Amino acid sequence: MDYLHQQIIPKYKNLDAAHQIDHVEQVIHDALFIARSHHVDLDMVYVIACFHDLGLLVDRKSHHLIGGKMLEDDLMIQSYFREENIKIMKEAIEDHRASIEYPPRSIYGKIIAEADRNLDPMTILKRTIQYGLKHSNELSKEAQLKRAYDHILEKYGPHGYLKLWLRTEQNERGLQKIHMLLENKSHLLDILNQIYDEIEK
């Protein structure tokens, strides 16, 4: 625990605003909550949650693969877990990404994927704007809002690529709220505009 909190979690300070320490702490909390309903090793769940987005330090597109490798190569993790458990944890990180088209290979992958969704509508909208400002700061305000709306529709819409593998009540409810927001485009754009203005103050 000391190692994770002193050496691993602080690395999230170097990521974009949508993936700071508050994000990893929320994923840890949600993963442990979900894990209570399954027969799993909570230590493994905790470690997976701590490492799940570290690959973003290197590359966003392949961050799930890089993060899994970081865990696998970590000497402290190797000293605490058997090789077969490290393999499961590595695969769980590789499988957590929202856009994967295959089911996670273990219950650990499903738990971390579900915990990482955090489908609170306002959190989703804020993180989408933050990401756009960080990675596409050359865009005008109007273009940023369009990018945010298009992303939300593509990922979280009724035909979006996001998948819920365990379909927890919290995430089901959040996704329904996002679908309701998407039904009124002008209203959603107004909300995104307010969030944009608050962030840019």
pLDDT given for residue 55 in this prediction: 96
Give the count of beta carbons closer than 10 Å to the beta carbon of residue 180: 12
Q: Tell me which of 15-19, 23-27, 50-54, 147-151 is least confident.
A: 15-19
Global pTM value: 0.83
Residues 6 or more apart in contact with residue 79 via CB below 8 angstroms: none
The domain limits of the chain are 2-117, 121-200
Q: How far is the CA of 36 from the CAs of 30, 40, 111, 112, in angstroms? A: 10, 8, 10, 13
Dist CA 79 CA 19 (whole Å): 28
Please, is 169 exposed, middle or buried when counting C-beta atoms within 10 Å of its C-beta (0-12, 13-18, 19+)? exposed
Write out pLDDT tens, residues 154-198.
999 999 999 889 989 989 999 999 999 999 999 999 999 999 999
Class (C level, CATH) for 2-117: mainly alpha
Provide the pLDDT confidence category of residue 99 given band limits of 50, 70 and 90: confident
- For residue 35, what are the contacts with CB-CB under 8 A and spacing of at least 6? 42, 45, 111
- Tell me the residue ranges of DSSP E strands in 55-170: none
Task: Specify the pLDDT at position 74.
Answer: 98
Residues of the chain with pLDDT > 90, as a percent, come to 85
Least confident of 22-26, 132-136, 138-142: 132-136
